[in-house]
Amino acid sequence: MNELLKATIDAHGGLERWNELDAVSARLLQDGGEWALKGQAGVLADVFVRAELHQQRVSHHPFGASDRRSAFTPQRVAIETTAGDILEELDNPSLSFEGHTLETPWSTPQLAYFVGISMWTYLTQPFTYARPGFEISELDPWQEKGEEWRRLHVVWPNNLATHSNEQTLYMGADGLLRRHDYDIVIQANAPGAHYFSDYTEVAGIMLPTRHKIVQRTPDGGSLDEPVLVSIDLSQIAFT
């Protein structure tokens, strides 16, 4: 394993502890301009998420109504009642975004796909990057916020769904993630810079409880405004 990746995983609780756990759940308070841009303002403002750690399965509840939830895998997303009745479903959901521009509205299943890939990525990193198929290399250090952050370039394998195949991670001196860069392929390759803060330890795992996603600039910097997505996590639990 890459030396910096190992140090980062150890700082977040270690791979041995991670492999003892199966799933994570949390309450999410979400805001930002992304939701209105996609015609989905307020749908997921206050929800609970559950993500399996070792396979890509995610569910959000409530999903637009108190008796509805989402069911995400990379191959299929669905909106279900809490009794399990299927209301909407979409096979091969990534293909449904072809031809989308930055402003193209999302259907409800497309929203479920976006938040599925997003929260699985956020809740399982950096441990995910120890899985087979990832290509990891260290980049030159980065200066930001009066600190020097070490960086990893990550290439995702094709069998997992995420924002873009190539991403960049930034780690502080304590080994914890500070920033995560990616392009949102399903949103016309919109460049994002995702910042993490307010870490807490749950079941031996370090997780950030505040997320802020803003636009990344061509020189690698980022804009403070507008905030595209903000996420505050609470009531975090592992099983």
pLDDT tens across the length of the chain (239 residues): 899 999 999 999 999 999 999 999 999 999 999 999 999 999 999 999 999 999 999 999 999 999 999 999 999 999 999 999 999 999 999 999 999 998 999 999 999 999 999 999 999 999 999 999 999 999 999 999 999 999 999 999 999 999 999 999 999 999 999 999 999 999 999 999 999 999 999 999 999 999 999 999 999 999 999 999 999 999 999 99
Catalogue all structural domains in the chain, each as residue range(s) with its CATH number. 3-238 (2.50.20.10)
pTM: 0.96
Q: Are strands 147-155 and 166-171 parallel, antiparallel or unpaired?
A: antiparallel
Looking at residue 202, what is its pLDDT?
98
